[in-house]
């Protein structure tokens, strides 16, 4: 069966908040991508590469992959570092 990766997608540059950033995605890896000679786009005749499945938890995504006998790789999200600053820090130093 195909190999897939399970991850939480990054927010786009147009998003400032963290809403809807808790979905886990199971996405199949593209096999043998080729370049379209006419337009120069990357293309593939593998339709699995177009498929993205969303799950509410990581466990549901793993259970789905195991039930369908899909080889998978889990990419854990990196923790965000927040620095607490006060308004007065703008005027110090």
Q: Whole-angstrom Cα distance, residue 93 to residue 84?
A: 17
Residue 88 in domain: no
Residue 17 in domain: no
Q: How many domains does the chain have?
A: 1
Residue 1 in domain: yes
DSSP 87: G
Cα–Cα nearest to 29, from 2, 1, 54, 53: 2
Give the gyration radius of the chain's Cα atoms. Answer: 19
Cα–Cα nearest to 58, from 1, 2, 5: 5
CATH number at residue 1: 3.30.160.190
Tell me the pLDDT tens digit for each residue of 13-71. Answer: 777 776 667 899 999 987 777 887 888 887 777 788 788 999 999 999 999 999 999 99
Strand order in the sheet with 3-7: 52-55, 24-28, 3-7, 71-74
Residue 63 in domain: yes
Q: Whole-model pTM above 0.75?
A: no
DSSP 23: -
Q: Could you list the residue range(s) of the whole structural domain that residue 1 is in?
A: 1-11+22-30+47-78
């Amino acid at each position: 069966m195909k190999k897939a990766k399970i991850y939480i997608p990054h927010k786009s540059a147009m998003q400032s908040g963290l809403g809807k950033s808790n979905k886990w995605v199971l996405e199949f890896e593209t096999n043998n991508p080729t370049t379209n000679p006419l337009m120069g786009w990357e293309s593939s005749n593998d339709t699995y590469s177009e498929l993205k499945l969303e799950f509410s938890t990581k466990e549901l995504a793993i259970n789905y992959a195991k039930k369908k006998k899909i080889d998978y790789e889990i990419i854990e999200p990196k923790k965000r570092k927040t620095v607490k600053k006060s308004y007065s820090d703008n005027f110090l130093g």
